[in-house]
Amino acid sequence: MLLAACLFGVAACGGGAKPAADASQDGTSIVGNSAPDVEFAPLRGDKALKLSALRGKVVLLDFWASWCVPCQEELPLLDDMAGRLSSKGIEFIGVSIDEDKADAEHFLERKKSWALSLGHDPEQTGAKQFNPPKMPTSYVIDRKGVVQHMNAGFERADIEKVEAQLTAASAE
């Protein structure tokens, strides 16, 4: 379970060396395959987030947690990017894996409003289908629903790489 890995190992929470790009922890890769059709409970609002409902749009799906220090830095930067890129048909979904919804909601109070859609996966049923190797992990999904990139962990320089991946996917 990713949560247990993060509590007991710094590398799983975005610290330490990153795994090879586009490779999951066990060496298999979701990249190049259709994204699982997962549904997440809403974190804000009352509408569930279903991945298949976004076909035809480029999607950045980001798994995060309130207790994850790299996530705390990344999520507001992704939200800023969502504000800039939404006009290009790019949808941003941030999914908290916090067991307690109140913890995720408390973290979200840091900003007055959020441009990205926010989901909650407390039992990690959706996260398990993607198998993120560390927190945070984001996935770039093209208009056909195929995972094009996986970005495991976060360092500030990654934000430019993610934006380039999304821009390229939206141009296709």
CATH fold of 34-171: Glutaredoxin (3.40.30)
Tell me the average pLDDT of the chain.
86
Per-residue pLDDT tens over the stretch 64-79:
999 999 999 999 999 9
**Residue-range domain boundaries for the chain:** 34-171
Show pLDDT as tens, one digit a residue, over the chain (172 residues). 444 444 333 344 544 333 334 334 433 479 999 999 999 999 987 789 999 999 999 999 999 999 999 999 999 999 999 999 999 999 999 999 999 999 999 999 999 999 999 999 999 999 999 999 999 999 999 999 999 999 999 999 999 999 999 999 999 8
Global pTM? Answer: 0.85
Per-residue pLDDT tens over the stretch 37-53:
999 999 987 789 999 99
Choose among 142, 134, 127: nearest CA to 158: 134
How long is the chain? Answer: 172
Distance between CA atoms of residues 69 and 72, nearest Å: 5
C-alpha separations of 171 from 27, 39, 57, 89, 92 in Å: 30, 27, 11, 10, 17
